[in-house]
Amino acid sequence: MNYEITAIEIIANIGGKENVLNVTHCATRLRFNLKDENLVKVKDIKKIQGVINTANKGGQFQIIIGPEVNELYEEVAKICVITEEEKQEKKKNVINSTLDSISGIFVSIIPVLIAAGMTSAILALLTTFNLVSTESSTYLIISSIQGAIFNFLPLFVGYAAGVKFKCNPFMGMALGAVLCYSKISSVEGLNFLGISIRAITYTSSVFPVILGVWAMSYIEKYLTKFTPKMLRGFFVPMMTIIIIVPLTLIVFGPIGAMLGDLLASLITILNGKIGWLSPVLIAALYPFMILTGMHYSLLPLVMTSFSTFGFDSVLMVAGFLSNMCEGAVSLAIAIKTKNKDLKTVAFSTGFSAIMGISEPALFGITLRFKKTLFVVSIGGVCGALFAGLMSLKAYGFVGGLPSLPLFISPNGWGNLEVCIASIIISFSVTFILTYLFGFKDAKEEKNEE
């Protein structure tokens, strides 16, 4: 792919750079906030080299690219030099705006969370095979990576929220730092001007800082508007932080903590007597959630589960098995087809899905042969049912086979063995159904598209 040419063609077909309010990216997608979505030429965009498909979710026009999205984004960003005045987004309904904000915040910090999880996976392997002692300094240093990242998670979320809510992201990070400060977080008997402050543990939390930065964005804009230019440099940040810190500790922090507690209670219920049902339902819906980008909106559930229980047994498990199913579909088609071009694409997208990036397989293969979309759901359900009944847990952000060590339990190999069995079930069911019923080769293939 020629990134520069592809970027130029994309911008030309979304109404030009003048139509772009904002552009970001996640692991596989370019995400555009546009002034007028009626100017987008979807059919022409799908024909551009490197474009897998498009989606529209939460007021965002999304272009699915795959693993090369980082390089393409750099070229797109060069064309779309967006000023602050241009960033005034059109009004969205509350649901779309909320989903857009949640996904926008969490998508940007996923690389940090993956780094923390994979570091934990490496450490699990080192300790399991007695290569590193849990009493050694080496263990302490490596374990501190994940521990520090999750402990100071409000700093990362605060920065990402600042970017999303269009205020100074470093002020958002500063608010996160205050919430993590040992003399503030979970300290009893605090008050501000006589107003009592609840003792709440803010380390590893996400909702308190998100609500705080959201409120801070309005405070900062208001102060900037009414402060003389010569005083803005020191007066606006000083007054913003002085106002928002007590407001967050008194109002937004407790509300955010309550939201987190409600989610934790919901997860406890889901993991209760019918805990097996939750991963089954998510696995059935997961390919459709990826189609719309809705899976990112569920990340707060995952973060709450990790911070409260230390593991996730629903979304991470279901998503992991769904990726295996996407890989199984592509590999089954690659083995069966006599079409050389299709065989090449199916092999590459299948490998990508098994490694953790499923969207090229979903948009390049599964949607092309529509029966296989439901085959992915069936295979995912079969594996997730076994995983749910056996209480499979993921101890970090998982996506593909490289993250298998994140299923190693502190109590032994049992959890990993359940994971491997779940993979075999999901992959086998999906592969067999695709090979026998989900795909017709040669001339019949044309009728399938």
Say if CB 380 and CB 322 are below 8 A apart: yes
In angstroms, the CA 307 to CA 275 distance is 19
Quote the pLDDT of residue 271. Answer: 72
For residue 56, the cross-strand partners are 61
- Token representation of residue 55: 């989606």
Residues 25 and 148 grouped into a single domain: no
Q: What is the pLDDT of residue 435?
A: 92
Q: What DSSP line would sit under 168-200, residue for residue?
A: -HHHHHHHHHHHH-TTTTT-TT-EETTEE----
One domain for residues 315 and 192 = no
Q: Are 305 and 271 in contact (CB under 8 A)?
A: no
Domain with 415, as residue range(s), is 275-446
Residues 408 and 331 in one domain: yes
Are 242 and 284 found together in one domain? no
Give the count of domains, the chain: 3
| pTM of this structure | 0.76
Domain end call among 80, 113, 136: 80
- Regarding whether 204 and 139 lie in a shared domain, the answer is yes
Q: Is 120 within the bounds of a domain?
A: yes
Contact present, 108 and 22 (Cβ < 8 Å): no
The mean pLDDT value for 291-301 works out to 77
Counting Cα atoms < 13 Å in the Cβ hemisphere of 374 gives 5
The mean pLDDT of 240-250, rounded to a whole number, is 94
At 304 the pLDDT is: 83
Would you say residue 86 lies in a domain?
no
Same domain, 25 and 112: no
Give per-residue pLDDT as tens, 169-192.
Answer: 999 999 999 999 888 887 888 888
Burial 247-274 (b: 16+ CB within 10 A, else e): bbbbebbbebbebbeebbeebeebbeee
- Higher pLDDT: 200 or 291? It is 200
Query: Would residue 107 count as lying in a domain?
Result: yes
Q: Are residues 24 and 102 in the same domain?
A: no
Residue 61: pLDDT above 60?
yes
Same domain, 383 and 430: yes
Quick one: average pLDDT of 101-111?
82
Query: How high is the mean pLDDT of the chain?
Result: 86
Whether 119 and 60 map to the same domain: the answer is: no
- The pLDDT, as a whole number, for residue 254 is 92
Judgement on whether residues 308 and 227 belong to the same structural domain of the protein = no
Does residue 148 form part of some domain? yes
Regarding whether 255 and 137 lie in a shared domain, the answer is yes
Hey, CA dihedral for 92, 94, 95, 97, is it positive or negative? Answer: positive
Could you tell me if 101 and 215 lie in one domain? yes
| 300 neighbors 207 (Cβ within 8 angstroms) | yes
The whole-angstrom distance between residue 401's C-alpha and the CA centroid of its chain comes to 18
Q: How far apart are CA 336 and CA 276, in angstroms?
A: 34
pLDDT for position 443: 46
Q: Which of 386, 391, 428 is nearest to 407 (CA)?
A: 391
More confident residue, 55 or 243: 243
* Final residue of a structural domain among 237, 271, 305: 271
Is 89 inside any structural domain?
no
**Percent above pLDDT 90 for the chain:** 37
Task: Look at residue 88 and tell me if it is in a domain.
Answer: no
CATH of the domain at 32: 3.30.1360.60
Residue 369 has pLDDT above 60, yes or no: yes
Rounded-to-integer distance, Cα 294 and Cα 280, Å: 17
Residue 444: its pLDDT value, please? Answer: 45
Residue 83 has pLDDT above 60, yes or no: no
Report residue 143: phi and psi, to 5°.
Answer: -65, -25
CB 374 within 8 A of CB 287: no
Helices (H), 152-295: 153-164, 169-180, 207-226, 229-247, 253-270, 277-292
Instruction: Tell me the average pLDDT across 85-112.
Output: 70
Would you state the pLDDT for residue 110?
82
